Structure 1
Amino acid sequence: MSSSPGRLTAVLALAGVVVAVMQTLMVPLLADLPSLLHSDSSDTAWVITITLLTGAVATPVLGRLGDMYGKRRMMLVALSLQVAGSLVCGLTTALLPMMIGRGLQGFAIGAIPLGISIMRDELPPERLGGAVGLMSSSLGIGGAFALPVAALVAEHFNWHILFLGAAALGLVSLVLIVLVVPESAVRSPGRFDLPGAIGLSAALVCLLLAISKGGDWGWGSTRTLGFGGAAVVLFVAWGFLQLRTAEPLVDLRTTARRPVLLTNLTSIMVGFALYATQLVPPQLLQLPSATGYGLGLSMVVAGLCVAPSGLLMMAMSPLAARLIAARGPKVSLLCGITVLGAGYGLGLTLMGAGWQMAIFSAMAGAGVGLAYAAMPSLIMSAVPATETAAANGLNTLMRSIGTSSSSAVVGMVLAGMTIDFGGTPVPSLDGFRTTFLIGCAACVVALLVAFFIPGRARPAETLLLGVVRSPRGVLEGAVVTLISKDGQQTGTTATDASGRYSLNVPDGEHVLVCSAAGFQPEAAPVSGPGEVDFTLSATGAITGTVGVGGALLIATDERGEVAGSVTSRADGSFQLPGLLPGRYALAVARHGYRTAAVPVRVGDGPVRCEVVLVREDATVTN
């Protein structure tokens, strides 16, 4: 399947907008949820919390599965769950089904990093910057545009239409992805780290429960401190496990690289600052004017006042791409954070009219658009192509942690700084100003952290070209990685359908490594422009049965060195891949059985071997 860069970008960005619509869908209904779902406010708060939890868990998991089994495939899974969740929510008035539906909707958040990774694999370099910026900003764009539409529907129609409309948008996005988006050939084959997924899920659930429910439970309560402490313990244990796992869910060594680590920390603070811009203005705009500072606007007009945020995010995507191309992603990130922080500072004096809040929202959108466009570029420049979905998923998770923290902190401040209005406590003007100061402080912290992200070096770069073949023809999807003398990755790409690749090579000596699933990797030294072709030799495999599960099979080469090992499955079958052509001795051992060994000759493909194990207490007859 092939598609033009424009259509591919438009379809993937639409998917991002659909995900964002799901996130802001509930904002106009928050005050009415207890009556709509026939429950008290503390229980209905879980309708929001459950989406944060499932989204946080699903994002890194879907990212890793996308790297392994196909990013487009996992994107379809994420959006299918969003459609199912929307239908469940649109057909119920009970709390439990609503929580189940909202939980399913949360899985859709994983579609955004998957879409960014597909763009890296499929788009030409000159189109990548703008497309990634648009996809990265789609979470804010869709959220800002959906707010006035959701408010209009909530005011004048049955609220279930919101969810049925979200399901329809999801179906349209699914169909377009099937028709337009190709499956990426870049894969990272291996085993899925189930213990790592369970450990990360448990740690994230504890952390986000403490953050999102701390205001209700009390920040010093046993429950809040217990979940917070459990999160710390689980994260430490999970990290210890990941460092000792051959194929981890998250490669912490890659994540610990300075560009990745600092970008993720910055993402938390920018996510915090972004969500505050979406939480505070609608409340101030809708408060009765009799309070002395509220603007008394309707839900729909308030939504329109914050809509410029989405418009500016969209407008900033091509500008951010040009800025990244000219000055590097770090400059775009610093500029975005600066504009966002300036918006907060100016917002302290722009609280007297709807148009003033619109100016604040526009500045916030412009800043977030520049910052969000830079984050995927910083991440992708520091990780291999085979890990982009997982790495971008982790970055999206960091943004989610920031937005969750913002929701908790802003809610705590506005609930604690109130005035009495007709017997009802409402947020005070000082409370709104305090949240703006906190948002501005988050921008300052983000700016300080981002300042230490390594800037883009600007050496003269030359183009390196080549073709990757196998004995049977050209190889599509082979990964070509450029590594500097000090062991740093300076570039990576994948071959196209004709087996061709191209890389920009900075001045100096490098090593070019080529790898593909089922083939022996090769490397070559490079020190400048030119053409480097690879012909990869296929690795062989031994398959067969041993008649019993749990048997250990060890293949040794002619020098007696272990070339690979595997344990037979429950039905006695086994597969031992990754063997170079040659002669091997295959030893089979199982407790209660006599050890056996057979010679095997491996070629370019799999060779079948049947071994019959004899029990130790069996009588051998001649």
Structure 2
Amino acid sequence: MTTATRPVTPPVVPGLVAIVGFLVCVELASGILQGYYTPVLSDIARHLGIRDADVNWFEAAQLVVSALVVPLLARLGDLWGHRQVLLLSTGVTAVASWGVAVAPDFTTFLVAWALQGCYVVWLPLEIAIIHRRTAASGAQGRLTRRGAALLVAALELGVIAGALTSGALVGTLGMTGLLALPAVAVTVCFVVIWWGIAPTPPAASGRLDLPGLGLVTLLISLVMAGLVLVRVVGPGSLLPWVALLLGALVVWPFVRVESRTPEPLIDVRLLGTPAQWPVQLTAFLFGVSVLGAQIPLSTFARTDPAVTGYGLGASAAFVSTLIGVYVVSLLLGALALPLAARLLSTRGAMLAACLLVALGYGLFLPLHDTTTQTLLNLGIAGTGSGVLVAALPAAAAAAAPPDRTGFVTGMTNTTKTIGGAIASALFAIALSATGSLEVAEVGAAPLSGYLTVWAICSGTALVAALSLLVVPRDAFAD
């Protein structure tokens, strides 16, 4: 006689619900930072006495700082403890947020805004905390994915809440008071981490790899400077290409040094394993659409079809609605990750998400004439993007040794940021091409430029899906 076996319920991890709850508060604050300022950027420009075009320096400066600090802070999380570094980065972000609120001039504001980029390491560190806390559960990967899904859902809710709040208060509060609200949220977030999350022991031993830190700083600085210069001085100038070439030349000594270092800052051998490089490549390619395509989508929606023959002719308020639909689809995608991983496996869920992103942006090529078409395309691409935002750091952690979880989760954000920066530069070139005389006279980008943007976003998502086929089937299993 055979006895039916019942599925084993994974053991309850003491305190895990409370930890995830506190980390959800952190991601709400992260979402507020990411959504709050966008509706009032023009008002900030007036407050600082600068042109709207100078606002681009905010994004450029924060991208550079984000790309530089994430590898350092992620590695320090493994060496010092992930909660300790999460607290440190939150403290820096809180000080920077208050600096943004009280900055008397453009330079001070720009420095404070750039330092706010330390928040991008929060999600990787939080997932590393959950991953380590569930190590003895027998369901580490599954619980980490569930936690990541909740964190990303909280992040997207924070984005919506931040955008709605600033838009509602911009006419009633002075600029200092308006900009102080995100600083209050981050300060509360610091207290929540300090009070609610116990210190975590270091996951790794050894010292910080200073030669590797110097080389990776030089490498990222040159690459990011080149990409920023492409947007600022244009692709016709020699300076950005010199910076990019010098950055490429630094890759060889950097890889040699890190390969020979016992405890490297950037573990190139680990990143080269079949379970890691496709994840990191997917993060890089995902950055093209999730970070690089948002401004082109906004400007396309604002373009008047009566003048150019394309665009939606949308108002600023309706563009906010489009962004809201996209963010809601991200939220739903993130929440769908645990179910999708259970039905398709983690690799299958990520592969399906890449195909959704490719489909969503690919549909823009024939279907971009109406608001309904745009909403449909954004909803499809956003759902896939939401799955990837939650799945990438969780998958990287599942396929890494215990002493490198902070490093690999942080690298997914670093590669995503660099992918977005490269895409921003390429898209700026594509959209600066000259169209018809009528289009050029109103300052609009040509339709061919937008078609190029959407084709690149779709194509990079397809390449990411193909790369995930290399990952072993059980790479992310418990």
Question: What secondary structure, in the 3-state scheme, does the structure 1 residue paired with 2:103 have?
Answer: coil
Q: Counterparts of 1:300 and 1:321 in 2: how far apart (Å)?
A: 34
Q: Counterparts of 1:157 and 1:355 in 2: how far apart (Å)?
A: 35
TM-aligned CA distance change 1:22 to 1:234, over 3 Å = farther
Shift, 1:326, TM fit:
4.1
Partner of 1:447: 465
Shift, 1:365, TM fit:
1.7
Is the 2:287–2:420 Cα contact (8 Å) retained in structure 1? yes
Partner of 1:100: 111
TM-aligned CA distance change 1:149 to 1:209, over 3 Å = farther
The one-letter code matched in structure 1 to 2:268 is: L
Partner of 2:267: 251
Bigger Rg over Cα: 1
Partner of 1:322: 339
* 1:114 and 2:130 correspond: no
Partner of 2:402: 385
Q: Counterparts of 1:7 and 1:300 in 2: how far apart (Å)?
A: 38
Matches within 5 A, 1:49-128: 49-123=60-134, 124=137, 125=139, 126-128=142-144
* 1:224 and 2:235 correspond: no
The one-letter code matched in structure 1 to 2:73 is: L
1:359 to 376, 380, 389: 376
Partner of 2:359: 342
Q: Counterparts of 2:448 and 2:287 in 1: how far apart (Å)?
A: 23
Is the 1:313–1:368 Cα contact (8 Å) retained in structure 2? yes
Q: Counterparts of 1:245 and 1:300 in 2: how far apart (Å)?
A: 53
* 1:267 and 2:278 correspond: no
Q: Counterparts of 2:132 and 2:444 in 1: how far apart (Å)?
A: 50
Is the 1:129–1:377 Cα contact (8 Å) retained in structure 2? yes
Shift, 1:34, TM fit:
5.6
Partner of 1:173: 189
Q: Which runs of 5+ in 2 are unaligned?
A: 1-12
Partner of 1:461: none
Partner of 1:48: 59
TM-aligned CA distance change 1:218 to 1:130, over 3 Å = same
* 1:280 and 2:296 correspond: yes
Matches within 5 A, 1:27-46: 27-29=38-40, 35-39=46-50, 44-46=55-57
TM-aligned CA distance change 1:39 to 1:314, over 3 Å = closer
Percent of matched pairs sharing the same residue: 21
What do residues 463-512 of structure 1 show as CA deviations (whole Å, max 9, x unaligned)?
A: xxxxxxxxxxxxxxxxxxxxxxxxxxx99xxxxxxxxxxxx6xxxxxxxx
Is the strand fraction higher in 1 or 2?
1
Q: Which runs of 5+ in 1 are unaligned?
A: 458-489, 492-503, 505-622
The one-letter code matched in structure 1 to 2:196 is: V
Partner of 2:146: 130
The one-letter code matched in structure 2 to 1:381 is: A
Is the 1:121–1:186 Cα contact (8 Å) retained in structure 2? no
What do residues 428-457 of structure 1 show as CA deviations (whole Å, max 9, x unaligned)?
A: 333323321221112122122222222227
Is the 1:47–1:99 Cα contact (8 Å) retained in structure 2? yes
Partner of 1:414: 431
TM-aligned CA distance change 1:327 to 1:396, over 3 Å = same
What do residues 108-154 of structure 1 show as CA deviations (whole Å, max 9, x unaligned)?
A: 11111111100101245353221123435766665466445545555
Is the 1:144–1:309 Cα contact (8 Å) retained in structure 2? no
* Larger mean Cα displacement after TM superposition, 90-99 or 293-302: 293-302
Question: What secondary structure, in the 3-state scheme, does the structure 2 residue paired with 1:179 have?
Answer: helix
Question: What secondary structure, in the 3-state scheme, does the structure 1 residue paired with 2:443 have?
Answer: strand
How many pairs were matched up? 459
Q: Counterparts of 2:370 and 2:169 in 1: how far apart (Å)?
A: 24
Q: Counterparts of 1:159 and 1:289 in 2: how far apart (Å)?
A: 35
TM-score, length-scaled by structure 2: 0.87
Partner of 2:443: 425
Shift, 1:172, TM fit:
2.1
Shift, 1:279, TM fit:
2.1
Q: Counterparts of 1:153 and 1:413 in 2: how far apart (Å)?
A: 36
Partner of 1:213: 229
Is the helix fraction higher in 1 or 2?
2
Partner of 2:9: none
The one-letter code matched in structure 1 to 2:448 is: D
TM-aligned CA distance change 1:228 to 1:98, over 3 Å = same
What do residues 501-537 of structure 1 show as CA deviations (whole Å, max 9, x unaligned)?
A: xxx6xxxxxxxxxxxxxxxxxxxxxxxxxxxxxxxxx
Q: Counterparts of 2:189 and 2:98 in 1: how far apart (Å)?
A: 15
Partner of 2:420: 403
* 1:298 and 2:315 correspond: yes
- Which of the pair has the greater relative contact order for Cα pairs under 8 Å at 6+ separation? 2
The one-letter code matched in structure 2 to 1:337 is: C
RMSD: 2.8
Q: Counterparts of 2:288 and 2:412 in 1: how far apart (Å)?
A: 14
Q: Counterparts of 1:429 and 1:162 in 2: how far apart (Å)?
A: 37
What do residues 576-619 of structure 1 show as CA deviations (whole Å, max 9, x unaligned)?
A: xxxxxxxxxxxxxxxxxxxxxxxxxxxxxxxxxxxxxxxxxxxx
